[in-house]
Amino acid sequence: MSFLELTAVGKSYGQGSNRTEVLRDINLSINEGEFVAIVGYSGAGKTTLISMIAGLLAPDTGEVRCGGQVVAEPGPERGIVFQNYSLLPWLSVYENVAMAVDQVFPQMSSAERRARTEQYIAMVNLTPASHKKPRELSGGMRQRVSVARALAMDPKVLLLDEPLSALDALTRGTLQDEIARIWRESQKTIVLITNDVDEGLLLADRIIPLSAGPSATLGPATVVDLPRPRDRKALMKDPAAKRMRLQVIEYLLGEGRRRAPAQAVAADLTTAPERSAVAVVA
Amino acid sequence: MAARNSFKGDWLVLPLVGIVAVLLLWTASSASWAKSLPSPLKTWEMSKLYVMEPLAKRGELDQGVVRFTWYSLVLVTKGYAIALLVGTPVGFLLGCSKRLTLMFDPIIQFLRPVSPLAWLPLGLVLFQKSEPAALFTIALCAMWPTVINTAVGVRAVPQDYLNVARVLKLSRTKTLFKVLLPATLPYMFTGFRLSLGIAWLVIVACEMLIGTPGVGGFLWQEYNSLIYEHIILCILTIGLVGFVLDRLMGMVEKRFSAV
Ligand SMILES: Nc1ncnc2c1ncn2[C@@H]1O[C@H](COP(=O)(O)OP(=O)(O)O)[C@@H](O)[C@H]1O
Ligand SMILES: [Mg+2]
């Protein structure tokens, strides 16, 4: 039995005639230490999906199990990095992380907690900014604080909801490398939500496409068995990577697209011009 | 626009021009159609004693300007404190519960525009004494902006912050003090500032009716003694104090909304 298991999960929003089914029959099982990327259109229900894994939302049908137990509420063993960072703006970087550490490790001495807080801030290279407020930070720095806060809780699973989509390409590249390093060093189970297939190729063990909504569901997984560490540039030319990219995109553009407007597809799945060229050529 | 912004001292000169214009209008009025309106000069002559010896106490209702302002400020502080102590929790409850909002919002909208002059007699009936009646009136009139803004602030707390609290499994009390309260503070302080403005409006009306020593009491007494210059002195004092209070609260508010 795998570590994280979703069986026949469905979710709808709204009441009566306004009711729309967002997710239908989601089945997913993830092993301990695995890095899984879920790729899908915006508005398909990715945040809804990860919120159910986190326990912030209850599924209407089916169940989510983590470590064998049914997930009924959120908890620090499932650390989540929210799409919009969700840092508390009145707290400094240090305080944002410390709040999580203090709450999750009440049995530690205050010196130990301080050391732990500092350790995780250092891990994301933010020690010089630790007294700053979130509004004084760039988007990339905020995202790193959010990652540090989630990791400092020592979660069994790290849930990342489009952590990098709001960032510029250069910052995104740096943070991708940081996420790869964190995963390698901590060996945590990671679920990464993204709208960028190449991000999945760079980081994940498996890429699972989510079809367009409403009633979105997961498509067939593509196993990314490329050697690590992976190099962004080499991936562009690597024939195996090309095949995988094509497989995911074909699902999203074909079967997974049933209900999505065509423009949204192009805008969504190709963030850089050369990337779409690669996709077409491949 | 840019071309007219040529002179750097505008921010100082233009207000002065405004003040001089009003003084001229005032002088002209008292010299022509409003014969019983004391001129600025006469007002100053008659008020000099009160301004130059601001701390003097010559009798219960014959005191320096700072002294009677002080009495009013003490009373207003008490009433305002009651308004905040009651209004903030009430606002929080309304913000947290949709049901309570549906229950009490109509009543609040209904009571909010009632004039202080209408509450005061009720306060006198309830408490028999003038000071508690005044406090009752100030608190009741000044409370609403705090209640309403706090409730709006609580409703505006982003779901993300609450999700953070849920993931960390913060207790209800911790969620209140570590997430809800700090996230609502900017709204609360807007309410506090508006409430203070109302409290200061109400105190003057209350004092005029109950005749306690203070700016309003003094104003009413001097009206009865036909010393109209002192009415103007009181009006100017009330305006100045109100202005200063608003600025001070504005500074506090800014500090918190910068968060
Ligand atoms: N709380 C909610 N109430 C009603 N509809 C919602 C709610 N949250 C999300 N939705 C809708 O569900 C769909 C999926 O949303 P979301 O999971 O945020 O998508 P994604 O993260 O993939 O962009 C969207 O159409 C969105 O409008
Ligand atoms: Mg989303």
Q: Which domain holds residue A63?
A: 4-77+157-281
For residue A88, list chain B residues with Cβ-Cβ distance below 8 A. Answer: 161, 164, 179, 182-183
Residue B118 backbone dihedrals phi, psi, to 5 degrees:
-85, -30
Interface mutation target, options B167, B178, B187, chain A, most CBs of A under 10 Å: B167
- Residues A13 and A20: beta-carbon distance below 8 Å: yes
Asked if residues B115 and B58 have their Cβ atoms less than 8 Å apart, the reply is: no
Distance CA B23, CA A125 (A): 63
- Report helix, strand or coil for B14: helix
Query: Which ligand is the nearest neighbour of the Cα of A48?
Result: 1
Statement: residue A277 has pLDDT above 60? no
Contact: A74, B166; criterion CB under 8 Å:
yes
A176 and A266, same domain (yes or no)? yes
Q: What is the pLDDT of residue B130?
A: 86
A134 in contact with ligand 1, CB cutoff 6 A: no
pLDDT at A172: 87
Question: Do both A65 and A104 map to the same domain?
Answer: no
Question: Does position A270 have pLDDT exceeding 60, yes or no?
Answer: no
Please give the pLDDT value at position B180. 93
Total tally of structural domains belonging to chain B:
1
Q: How far is the CA of A43 from the centre of ligand 1 (A)?
A: 6
Amino acid (1-letter code) at residue A215 = S
Whole-number Å distance, alpha carbon A84 to ligand 1 midpoint, is 14
The CATH number linked to B118 is 1.10.3720.10
Confidence of residue A275 (pLDDT cuts 50, 70, 90): very low
B167 reaches A (C-beta below 8 A): yes
Residue B13: the pLDDT is 87
- Please give the pLDDT value at position B222: 81
Residue carrying the six token digits 């209004």:
B87
Instruction: Verify that A202 and A167 share a domain, yes or no.
Output: yes
Mean pLDDT confidence for B96-123: 89
Q: How many domains does chain A have?
A: 2
User: How many helices (H) and strands (E) would you count in chain B?
Assistant: 11, 2
Closest CA to A246 of A199, A221, A279: A279
For B181, the domain range is 62-257
Q: Provide the shortest C-alpha distance from residue A54 to chain B (in Å).
A: 8
* A90-101 pLDDT, tens digit each: 999 999 999 999
Confidence band of B116 (pLDDT split at 50, 70, 90): confident
At A273, the pLDDT band (50, 70, 90 cuts) reads very low
Average pLDDT over residues A163-192: 89
> Is residue A104 over pLDDT 80?
yes
Domain annotation covers residue B123: yes
Say whether both A190 and A53 belong to one domain: yes
Does residue A189 share a domain with residue A56?
A: yes
- Same domain for A223 and A274? yes
Chain A: give the shortest CA distance to residue B245, in Å. 26
Q: Looking at A107-116, A160-169, A187-196, which range is the least confident one?
A: A160-169
Contacts of B63-71 with C-beta under 8 Å, sequence gap 24+, read B63/B213, B63/B218, B65/B233, B65/B237, B68/B213, B68/B214, B68/B215, B68/B217, B68/B218, B69/B214, B69/B215, B69/B237, B69/B241, B71/B212, B71/B213, B71/B214
Give the closest of B158, B163, B170 to A103, CB-based. B170
A259 has pLDDT over 60: no
Report yes or no: B233 and B50 within 8 Å, Cβ to Cβ: yes
Give yes or no for residue A257 having a pLDDT over 80: no
Quote the pLDDT of residue A256.
66
User: Do A146 and A167 share a domain, yes or no?
Assistant: no
Atom 26 of ligand 1, residue of closest alpha carbon: A43
If one counts every other C-beta atom within 10 angstroms of the C-beta of residue A33, the result is 13
A47 lines ligand 1 (CB under 6 A): yes
In chain A, whose CA is at the least distance from the CA of B162?
Answer: A86
Residue B50, domain member (yes or no): no
pLDDT in tens, B122-131: 988 999 888 8
Encode pLDDT of B136-182 as tens digits: 999 999 999 999 999 999 999 999 999 999 999 999 999 999 999 99
Determine contact: B226 vs chain A, CB below 8 A: no
Cβ pairs A/B, distance under 8 A? 47
Determine, for residues A79 and B163 on separate chains, whether the beta-carbon distance falls below 8 Å: no
> So what's the pLDDT on residue A193?
95
pLDDT band at B243 (very low <50, low <70, confident <90, very high): very high
Same domain, A105 and A198: no
Residue A146 CB contacts under 8 Å (≥ 6 apart), including other chains: A81, A82, A85, A86, A87, A163
Span from the CA of A44 to the centroid of ligand 2 (angstroms): 8
- Which range has the worst mean pLDDT, A102-106, A203-207, A220-224, B46-50? B46-50
Query: Per the CB < 8 Å rule, is B185 touching A79?
Result: no
Among A26, A9, A41, smallest CA distance to A193 is for A41
Give the end-to-end CA distance of chain B in Å, rounded to a whole number. 33
Residue A12 has pLDDT above 80, yes or no: yes
Q: How many CA atoms lie within 13 A of A234 on its CB side?
A: 8
Q: Token pair of A275, please?
A: 């990337």
Distance A181 CA to ligand 2 centre (A): 24
Model confidence band, residue A170 (pLDDT cutoffs 50, 70, 90):
confident
A13 lines ligand 1 (CB under 6 A): yes
Residue B2 placed within a domain? no
Residue B61 tokens read as: 């209702």
Domain end position, chosen among A154, A176, A204? A154
CB A197 within 8 A of CB A241: no
CA of B176 relative to ligand 1 center, distance in Å: 27
For ligand 1, atom 14, which residue shows the shortest CA distance?
A45
**Averaged pLDDT score across all residues of chain A:** 88
- pLDDT tens-digit series, residues A32-80: 999 999 999 888 999 999 999 999 999 999 999 998 899 999 988 899 9
A183 and A63 share one domain: yes
In a shared domain, residues A103 and A226: no
pLDDT at B258: 61
What pLDDT does residue B254 have? 85
pLDDT band at B87 (very low <50, low <70, confident <90, very high): very high
A53 and A176 assigned to the same domain? yes
Q: Which of A138, A154, A170 is the last residue of a domain?
A: A154
Give the pLDDT score at A50.
95
CA nearest to A82 within chain B: B160
Q: Which residues of A touch B183 (CB under 8 A)?
A: 88, 90
Please, which pLDDT band fits residue B207 given cuts at 50, 70 and 90? confident
pLDDT digits (tens, 9 = 90+) for A244-256: 999 999 999 887 6
| Distance of residue B168 Cα from the nearest chain A Cα, in angstroms | 6
Top pLDDT among A262 and A32 is at A32
Q: Which atom of ligand 1 is nearest to the CA of A46?
A: 22
Share of chain B above pLDDT 70, in %: 96
Do A66 and A91 belong to one domain?
Answer: no
A70 half-sphere exposure, CB direction, 13 A CA radius:
8
Dist CA A269 CA A279 (whole Å): 10
User: Which residue(s) pair with A223 in the sheet?
Assistant: A206
Here the tokens at position A62 are 């089916």
pLDDT at A164 over 70: yes
Provide the terminal-to-terminal Cα distance of chain A, rounded to the nearest Å.
Answer: 37
Q: Please choose, from the candidates A151, A217, A215, A153, the residue with its C-alpha nearest in 3D space to the C-alpha of residue A185.
A: A151
Confirm whether B53 is domain-assigned.
no
| Domain final residue pick, A136, A154, A172 | A154
Task: Determine whether the shortest distance from the Cβ of A56 to ligand 1 is under 6 A.
Answer: no
What does the pLDDT look like over B1-42, one tens digit per residue? 455 555 677 888 888 999 999 999 988 888 888 888 888 888
Give contacts of B185 with chain A, Cβ < 8 Å.
90
On chain A, the residues whose CB falls within 8 A of the CB of B158 are 86
- On chain A, the residues whose CB falls within 8 A of the CB of B161 are 86, 88
pLDDT at A204 over 50: yes
Domain assignment of residue B250, yes or no: yes
Mean pLDDT along residues B247-251: 91
pLDDT of B234 over the 90 cut? no
Separation between Cα atoms, residue A44 and residue A22, nearest integer Å: 7
Task: Give mean pLDDT, residues B42-53.
Answer: 80
Residue B194 to residue B173: CA distance in whole angstroms: 28
Q: What backbone phi and psi angles, to 5 degrees, belong to A41?
A: -65, 160
pLDDT at residue A258 is higher than 70:
no
Whole-number pLDDT of residue A213 = 73
Which DSSP symbol is given to A17? Answer: G
Any B CB within 8 A of A172 CB: no
- Put simply, whether A127 touches B (Cβ < 8 Å) is no
Ligand 1 close to Cβ of residue A46 (< 6 A): yes
Residue nearest atom 4 of ligand 1, based on CA coordinates: A13
